[in-house]
A and B are shown apart, each in its own frame.
Chain A
Amino acid sequence: MQSTFMTYLGAFIVGGTLCAAGQVLIDKTKLTVARILVIFVTAGAVLTALGVYQKIVDIGGAGATIPLTGFGYSLARGAFRDVDQYGLLGAFTGGVKATAAGITAAIFFGYTISVAFTPKAKR
């Protein structure tokens, strides 16, 4: 019971901190949303390569994997796993393979829901 509580606490604090960091970037640098998300996904991949992000995931759980840095983490980890298995080819297969579920879900649900719903009329 105690450990379950700790997973939620870790997720809240780590996830909240990553989002707060994004907000600081928005307010202080006037970067667009697209640029911030690109920075987050790239930073996630680089921090994973440096062995830092795995430690953040160990503490934060979903708090580290749900923010977009976690997408970079999955991409990089997949690339490493496939490099271990297939050599250089793995650098080209691992990333997308590890994130296939997320990318496909984003495209499939993104498309069907965009088609099914209409945006609220602009005031």
Chain B
Amino acid sequence: MQKNFTKEDYRKYVEQISPKSKVLRNVVRAFIIGGLICIVGQFITNLLTALGLKKDELSSITTIIMIFLGAILTGLNIYDELGRYAGAGSIVPITGFANSIVSPAMEFKSEGYVTGVGAKMFVIAGPVIVYGVAASVVVGILYYLIK
């Protein structure tokens, strides 16, 4: 029985079965870690609400705290380790946005504080701000024309 199952067969079998389960595993990890990061954000929001902050203030302060946490955990080399496990679960939250700024900026510090740190901060954050702000102008103009 075992002789029929050659190395070639085994390789095909592994190829056939592994990508699917790997995707599923990655998606589950992303869901759990991403969900937990959002729970941290919700905890901060609830805490600030209990302190009596107004709705606009508390969403801004929550964002500031989450960005600080993402940046400092990247500085301490913890966030990139988390990212290896969580994938999109650590990329999609705003903490991942902070990570995308600090990680390349630290890496390219040797190229100086202007063209190294100053420029590389925006390798990923730059496009995000460009498309986000441009989209807000477009929907703002459409809203003005329609309303």
Q: Which A positions have Cβ atoms within 8 angstroms of B? A: 4, 7-8, 10-28, 33-34, 36-38, 40-42, 44-46, 48-49, 60-63, 65-68, 70-72, 74-76, 78-80, 82-84, 87-88, 90-92, 94-96, 99-103, 105-107, 109-111, 113-120
Contacts and interface: CB of A to CB of B under 8 A. Distances in A.
A113 B75 contact: yes
A48 to B, nearest CB: 7
Contacts of A21: 88
B97 A68 contact: yes
A70 to B, nearest CB: 7
Contact of A115 (B42, B93, B117, B123): B117
B38 A62 contact: yes
B135 to A, nearest CB: 4
A114 B143 CA distance: 39
B26 to A, nearest CB: 5
Interface in B58-75: 59-64, 66-68, 71-72, 74-75
Q: What is the predominant secondary structure among interface residues of chain B facing chain A?
A: helix
Contacts of B53: none
Given A12-B39, A19-B34, A20-B30, A71 B140 contact: no
Contacts of B129: 103
A92 B138 CA distance: 9
A67 B75 contact: no
Given A8-B42, A41-B132, A110-B105, A88 B35 contact: no
A42 B3 CA distance: 55
B121 A11 contact: no
Interface in B26-84: 26-39, 41-46, 59-64, 66-68, 71-72, 74-77
A38 B102 contact: no
B136 interface: yes
Contact of B31 (A20, A62, A114, A116): A20
Given A15-B35, A113-B72, A115-B113, A62 B27 contact: no
Given A22-B30, A63-B42, A109 B67 contact: yes
Contact of B64 (A36, A48, A101, A117): A101
Contacts of A72: 132, 135-136
